[in-house]
């Protein structure tokens, strides 16, 4: 294939010969381009794999929203949060959707059967965990009033098992020992109640509390969570703003935008390596031109125009970029295969955006080589033949 191109464009044959004469400098220049292409493509593919891994936590929460009360300064504690009347109005507005009131007492502590404090555990009081969660081990009782349900990560970190007795202390409410009836399946960070980090206590243990929030869930086949959110806000925000309802998928969009911005920034940092490539190529071409000044002077003396000399030297720079991109692309894809396998579980889980980063890296590598070669080519072509012979 190269022979066919060389037959049509003899300058390519000259460019290959000249680059082969300065093998060490050529290898360094190609390596600089390879590093730049791999940096942009590898970071792009890796970032996209990481984004897929993180956004997978939102799967299963498409019909879920959180309802948070809007408290006003000076409002007495007895009127903060939601009351039973507020929850009833939410349920009426939500129709067939499930509305789960939540008590999230601050300052709560959890002590394991061994006497250790589960430092990262949080306590939430809810009516029935079965409305939202499935048990990984054990079983959530239908009449759930005197036991607790523990999130997967808290159980794993603190060696909590079904049947253990743990002590839950809620300031101003109670300090009681409960039996662990179930360990929940892992939910991921997108869960609105952070279930993996939570010990769930029956709502009946709190007497007649004010609710700190509520979780709304609509079956994906039964309705639209956005419409339900609007209905709840319309029902409660009559005289003033009392509630703000946020679908979990809105958070997903924010995370996706954040991850995309971070990925672009990191790829931009990787692109700085192409500046090194540009300097290396410019240096290579300048040194090559100095070594061949006599040869290039002869070419000018026998009638080669300036543009032909420029075209020859730029072709050499372009060849460095093309070879660097040709080596860098498979290396970047190999990095993507490994990262996809580790984070997503599928080596071939490439996204169009991730592959775009590889293409952009290759194009930038070639363009960098071209631009870096223009100055040495122009400088050499503008030397008079007599000056070249005297060098």
- Taking the whole predicted model, whether its pTM rises above 0.75 is answered as no
In angstroms, the CA 357 to CA 129 distance is 43
In angstroms, the CA 17 to CA 57 distance is 55
Tell me, rounded to whole angstroms, the distance of Cα 292 from its chain centroid: 50
Between 177 and 251, where is the model more confident?
177
Write the DSSP assignment of 289-315 as a string of letters: HHHTHHHHHHHHHTT--HHHHHHHHHH
In angstroms, the CA 270 to CA 178 distance is 53
DSSP conformational letter for 211? B
Coil, strand or helix at 204: helix
- Sequence-distant (6+) residues with CB within 8 A of 161 are 137, 155, 180, 183
Q: Do the Cβ atoms of 312 and 14 come closer than 8 Å?
A: yes
According to DSSP H, which parts of the chain are helical?
Answer: 2-8, 10-21, 23-55, 84-94, 152-157, 225-236, 248-271, 273-291, 293-301, 306-343, 352-381, 385-390
Coil, strand or helix at 27: helix
What is the pLDDT at residue 60?
67
In angstroms, the CA 62 to CA 250 distance is 10
Confidence band for 2, pLDDT divided at 50, 70 and 90 = very low
Confidence band for 294, pLDDT divided at 50, 70 and 90 = low
Between 289 and 244, where is the model more confident?
244
In angstroms, the CA 212 to CA 101 distance is 8
Lowest mean pLDDT among 62-66, 73-77, 241-245, 351-355: 73-77
> What mean pLDDT comes out for the span 38-57?
81
Confidence band for 390, pLDDT divided at 50, 70 and 90 = low
Residue 376 has pLDDT above 80, yes or no: no
Residue 161 has pLDDT above 70, yes or no: yes
What is the crossing angle of helices 293-301 and 352-381, to 10°?
70
The average confidence (pLDDT) of the chain is 82
What is the pLDDT at residue 103?
93
Lowest mean pLDDT among 68-72, 204-208, 307-311: 307-311
Write the DSSP assignment of 47-98 as a string of letters: HHHHHHHHHGGGTT-TTEEEEEE---TT--GGGSSB-HHHHHHHHHHHTTSE
Lowest mean pLDDT among 64-68, 277-281, 356-360: 277-281
> What mean pLDDT comes out for the span 9-33?
70
Dihedral sign (CA 339, 341, 342, 345): positive
């Amino acid at each position: 294939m190269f022979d066919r191109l060389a037959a049509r464009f003899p300058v390519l044959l000259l460019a290959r010969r000249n680059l082969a004469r300065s093998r060490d400098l050529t290898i360094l220049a190609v390596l600089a381009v390879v590093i730049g292409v791999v940096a942009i493509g590898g970071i792009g593919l890796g970032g996209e794999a990481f984004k897929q891994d993180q956004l997978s936590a939102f799967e299963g929460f498409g019909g879920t929203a959180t309802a948070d009360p809007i408290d006003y300064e000076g409002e007495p504690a007895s009127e903060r949060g939601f009351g039973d009347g507020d929850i009833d109005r939410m349920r009426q507005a939500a129709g067939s959707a499930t509305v789960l009131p939540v008590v999230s007492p601050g300052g709560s502590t959890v002590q394991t059967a061994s006497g250790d404090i589960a430092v990262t555990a949080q306590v939430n009081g809810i009516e029935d965990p079965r409305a939202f969660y499935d048990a990984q081990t054990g079983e959530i009782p239908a009449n759930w009033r005197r036991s607790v349900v523990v999130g997967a990560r808290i159980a794993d970190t603190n060696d909590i098992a079904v049947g253990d007795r743990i002590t839950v202390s809620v300031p101003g409410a109670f300090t009681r020992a409960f039996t662990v009836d179930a360990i929940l399946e892992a939910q991921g960070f997108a869960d609105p109640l952070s279930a993996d980090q939570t010990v769930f206590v029956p709502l009946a243990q709190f007497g007649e509390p004010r609710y700190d929030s509520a979780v709304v869930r609509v079956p994906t086949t039964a309705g639209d969570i956005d419409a339900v959110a609007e209905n709840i806000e319309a029902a409660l925000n009559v005289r003033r703003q009392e509630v703000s309802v946020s679908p979990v998928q809105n958070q997903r969009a924010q995370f996706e935008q954040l991850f995309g911005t971070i990925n672009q920034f990191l790829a931009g940092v990787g692109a700085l390596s192409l500046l090194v490539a540009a300097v290396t190529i410019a240096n290579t071409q300048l040194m090559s031109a100095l070594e061949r000044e006599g040869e290039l002077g002869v070419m000018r003396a026998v009638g080669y125009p300036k543009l032909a000399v420029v075209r020859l030297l730029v072709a050499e720079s372009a060849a460095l970029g093309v070879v660097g991109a040709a080596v860098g692309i498979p290396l970047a894809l190999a990095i993507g295969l490994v990262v996809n396998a580790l984070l997503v579980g599928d080596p071939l889980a490439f996204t169009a955006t991730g592959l775009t980063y590889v293409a952009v890296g290759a194009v930038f590598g070639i363009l960098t080589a071209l631009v870096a070669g223009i100055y040495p080519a122009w400088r050499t072509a503008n030397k008079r033949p007599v000056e070249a012979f005297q060098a």
